[in-house]
Structures are given as C-alpha cells and as structure tokens.
Amino acid sequence: MQQSASSRPLVGVALVIGSCLSLPFGAAVAAQLFPVLGPWGVTSLRVAIAALLLLVIVRPNPRGWTRQQWTAAALFGLSLAAMNAFFYAAIDRIPLGPAVAIEFLGPLILAAVLTRRLADFAWVGIALLGMVLLGIDGLIGAEPLDPLGVLFVLVAAGFWIMYIRMSARVGAVIPGSGGLAMGLAVAAVLLIPVGVPAAVTVAGDMQLLLLAAITAVLSSVIPYSFELAALRRLPQRVFGVLLSLEPAFATLAGWLVLGQSATPLKLLAIGLVVAASVGTTLGARRQDKDARRRRKEEEAGPFTGPLPLPD
C-alpha cells in the first residue's frame, strides 16, 4: 500500500538531507568539466548517463502505462532537462552557494503558496531572509554576481517548481522508480542537440568520462531517487522548505571542492535557512502525531458499552 504524504516524515526528512548533500557536490564536480565540455554539454552528458544507469537498474515496463502516466513522465523529463541545463549555465558564471540560494526561490515560493499554517509562513519568511542575505553577500562581496548568471538561475528556479510538482505527480501515479527512469530518458532525448559534441569529446578520454559518471550519480541518480521517495512521505510545502538546507551544503561544497570563500554574512544566512528547515521538520512531525491521534480516535468511535460498576 502506498504511504500517504504525511506518513513517516522523519524518513522523508533524512532523504531530503541526503539529496541536499549529494547535489551540490555533484555540481562542484561538474563545474570542473565546464572548461572542456561547457555547461550545456555537461548537463546533457550527466542526464544521459544517469538515465542509462537507472534504465538498467530499474528496468521500467511502460508498455502498459496510461496516457496520464506517460504525460506525467514526459513533463517530469522536461522539467529535469530545463532545470539542470539553466542551473549549470548559471554556475558557469556565478559561485555555487549564491546560485543555489537564488534557485531556492522556486521551492520557497511554492511552499508559501501551499502553506496553511501561520507557523509555516514564519519559517518560510526566515528562509527567505536567509536567501536575501546570500544575495546581498553576492552583490557586495568579493565576487559580484554576473547578471546573465542570475537570469539563468531564476529560470532554473521556475523549472524547479515544475520539477517538485511533477515529481510528486510521478510518485503518485507511477509505482517504484520507473517514472524517474523514464523521465530522465525523456530529459536525455531533449538534450541530445547540445550533448553530441560533449559525447564525442569524452569518448576518447576516460578521465573525463569518469568525472561525468560521478557527476551523474551525485547530481541525478542519488538526489532524484531520494527526492521522489521523500515526496511520497512529505507534503510538498514541507519538502520545499526543507530544501533550504541545500545552500548550506552548496557553500560547503564550493569551499571544499572549488575553493570558494564563505563570508560571515553568508554563514549567517546559512544559519537562518537551517533554522527554517529544523522548524519546518518539527512542525511536520507534530502534525503527523496529531493526525495519527485523530485517526485512532475516529477508529475507536464513541464509547457505547456499559458503565463500570463502583466497587
């Protein structure tokens, strides 16, 4: 039986954290390939390798899929292709930490639209403040942000909203990981026009091919599998705010792998987004406990038995 969106939230939280850890380190590895393959070539190669790996591992059987399932997988693939391509084009021009922070405006807006609790609005506001501080740090710090890079990452943010919505849809209508495998296959096909030169380049260089494979695993296979599973356990609004951990991990990855600095203002911003994530997580856990208690009370029904006699 498929679990409801509110069941086992702590498992969903752990899956989101795993995704947030994996994605930025994959992006940091990908950035090292940009001088040779370019951001669009790296995107195409990464998605193609990830699709091939998942098709082999999952072995989806879409022959019996309905039109609804095919539509969900196709739109999911479109969101994957566009989100990744524009994000890689952005981090070719601006540092990884601020890029992830700006891109997070997508799920943050989604969380704000879907929330119904005052506490959730407060946590969204705290996360937004963290994003603003990261943006200010990018503008006044030692590394000013390239306007075209900011435009690219804003486009990626829009497709991130589509990705979250379609990922939840795929998880609901397609069992297992078959929808993810086919979605990545669709994304790989869409990116073929920009991927052919990159494929030719890496064909004769095993070191480049290895880096591309590591990027595919860290940036696609692990995070998308984790996020698909998380969205089966968490409401979309909670999932969106929890992703605010990603700028923190992106800053760490940029520092460790790419040597990008972390200023006091950036660290303060990271603290705010982490606080928002923790607050949202605790709120989701309380909601889950309340929902379980209400279900037990409803299942028990009103007491209709005889009253106990006094001793």
Cα gap 96→89, rounded to integer Å: 11
* N-term to C-term CA, the chain: 47
The stretch 234-238 carries a mean pLDDT of 73
What is the number of residues in the chain? 311
Please tell me the distance from the alpha carbon of residue 274 to that of residue 247, in angstroms, as a whole number: 9
Name which of 187, 227, 163, 175 is nearest 74 in CA terms.
187
Q: What is the pLDDT of residues 7-53, one digit of tens each?
A: 467 788 888 888 888 887 888 888 888 888 888 888 898 899 889 98
**pLDDT for the residue numbered 302:** 55
**Over the stretch 58-99, which tens digit does the pLDDT of each residue have?**
888 888 889 999 999 999 999 999 998 999 899 888 877 778
φ and ψ at 50, to 5 degrees? -60, -40
Q: What is the pLDDT of residue 82?
A: 93
Say what the pLDDT of residue 285 is.
59
- Cα distance between residue 274 and residue 258, in whole Å: 22
pLDDT score for 26:
83
Confidence of residue 259 (pLDDT cuts 50, 70, 90): low
Under a CB-based contact definition with an 8 Å cutoff, are residues 177 and 79 in contact? no
Identify the CA nearest to 245 among candidates 26, 80, 94, 21: 21
pLDDT at 194: 83
